Structure 1
Amino acid sequence: MSGSTSSHNGVGLRVGMTGGVASGKSTVSQAFARLGVPVIDTDDLAREVVAPGTEGLEAVRDAFGPEVITDDGQLDRRALRDRIFADPTARETLEAITHPRIEALMAQRLAALTTPYAIVVVPLMVEAGWQDHFDRILLVDASAADQKRRVMQRDQLSAPAARRMLENQANADQRRAIADDIIDNRHNHTALQSQIAALDRRYRDLAARRSSPPFVPTGPSE
């Protein structure tokens, strides 16, 4: 499931968190943050690596053309999303640009920490094949019905659109197959917080007894 461990920097244990769309990852990560745990969200890193003025954004422009850049120099995410949906190979092209840069930035952020453990949120863990970057994989699990209802409310989507979004991601069995720990987000707030508190204690105990190997990213191509 997750990688082996040896001496590392100031992070004793690297926990990769994943889960399907609208499974409750933000709620869980915020709860860990309130316990003093550093949280790195790869969705945030993905935006950083294509921010205006970055060579990542220039690489996207070179690959997809100026039509995916807005007049004020921002990435036009809707235009890029339309390209990806229209051309299956476009996603691979985009990931070849962004994934190494996200990995490199993730490694920098982890290296700057001194903490028993850190949470790294990777929504598409299975799809990206990043499970070996972490010491433990934490899955936030929710029912498909709850996910569909939440994403429809959150993104103002129709039922068919929400269903397609769920179908385009890894399924629950694939996520469970890589998970070391599972938070069951099918219950009430009290039950959720109890699971988080128990895992916090467990991770701190594990971190006290072991440390992680250095994560060496592939890095962006020149």
Structure 2
Amino acid sequence: MANYIVGLSGGIGSGKTTVSKLFEQHGVSVIDADIIARDVVVKGSEALTLIIEYFGENFLLPTGELDRTKLRTRIFSNSKDKLWLNNLLHPLIRKNIIQALEQAPSDYCLLVAPLLLENNLQHLVDRVLIVDVSEEIQIKRTLTRDKSSEVEIRAIINSQISRHSRQQAADDIINNNDTDLAKLEENVRLLHQKYLENSKIAE
């Protein structure tokens, strides 16, 4: 496992992907929990078979892949279905995350997980980094990026841990309300140096 692990999280539309890519430019290994979550339900997987048995064939795209948008809409309006899905997927995702962390080659690595705190993944990391933005900016950026409606985006925000709770759990916070990329790059550079030093102490 990587010598030192930083958990990167933040609400929907906060800019986690942008921040993680800046860390990658410094040679940092990035493990993305969302990518792992997609991989466990790929076409032909046992998890996808179980999901379709439970939800029905109409949750498949014409390609035979999972209609993630449709499933997301369903589980946000049905707590019983959400619980069933979480009980199926979370153990698989956690197992694959741990395997990826064990194989990370850099001095320290980044675990990017939107639900880091909700799913208790912070226990896998040495430090928690939160990308923080206002709710107004979350909605604006997500509307620009996704096909989701504002009602759906607000439902996602409300289903996640509160902004205040994230801030309380953070060891480090990047304020990403600003659109100044140079400022963001400098914040990442400083944190990268700090994490490198921490990883050497942890050896």
Q: Provide the residue aligned with 1:137 in structure 2.
A: 128
- The number of residues matched between the two structures is 202
Taking only aligned residues, the RMSD between alpha carbons, in angstroms, comes to: 1.8
Look up the match of 1:43: 34
Q: Structure 1 residues 129 and 186 mapped into 2: Cα distance closer, same or farther (>3 Å)?
A: same
* Correspondence 1:127 to 2:128: no
TM-score using structure 2 length: 0.91
| Residue 110 (str. 1) matches residue 107 (str. 2) | no
Partners of 1:157 and 1:104 lie apart in 2 by 30
- Residue in 1 that maps onto 2:91: 100
Q: State how far apart, in whole Å, the 1-side matches of 2:6 and 2:181 are.
A: 22
Alpha-carbon offset, residue 146 of structure 1: 1.6
Partner of 2:20: 29
| Equivalent residue, structure 2, for 1:5 | none
- Counterpart in 2 of 1:178? 169
Q: Give, as a single letter, the amino acid of the residue that structure 1 aligns with 2:24.
A: A
Q: Counterpart amino acid of 1:198?
A: L
Q: 2:187 aligns with which of 186, 195, 198?
A: 195
Unpaired segments of 5 or more residues in structure 1? 1-8, 212-222
Residue 80 of structure 2 corresponds to residue 89 of structure 1 = yes
Secondary structure of 2:108's partner? strand
Q: Percent identity?
A: 35
Q: Determine whether 1:75 maps to 2:66.
A: yes
**How far 1:69 sits from its partner (Å)?**
2.8
> Distance between the aligned counterparts of 1:171 and 1:181, measured in 2?
17
Runs of 5+ unmatched residues, structure 2: none
Helix, strand or coil at the partner of 2:42: coil
| Residue identity matched to 1:44 | I
Between stretches 137-146 and 199-208, larger displacement belongs to 137-146
Mapped partners of 1:107, 1:130: distance in 2: 10
Aligned partners of 1:45 and 1:106 also within 8 Å: yes
Per-residue Cα deviation, 1:141-182 (whole angstroms, up to 9, x for no partner)? 112222121112112555444433322322111111211111
Cα offset, 1:128, TM superposition: 1.6
4+ runs deviating over 4 angstroms = 156-161
CA–CA distance in 2 between the matches of 1:117 and 1:146?
A: 30
Q: Shift of the alpha carbon at 1:95?
A: 1.0
Distance 1:90 1:156, change over 3 A: closer
Mark the CA change 1:158 to 1:71 in structure 2 (over 3 Å): closer, same or farther. closer
Distance 1:81 1:114, change over 3 A: closer
The equivalent of 1:54 in structure 2 is: 45
User: Structure 1 CA distance, aligned partners of 2:164 and 2:10?
Assistant: 11
Q: Secondary structure at the match of 2:4?
A: strand
Distance 1:210 1:37 in 2: 17
Superposition TM-score, scaled by structure 1 size: 0.84
CA displacement at 1:106 relative to structure 2: 1.1
- Secondary structure at 1:128's aligned position in 2? coil
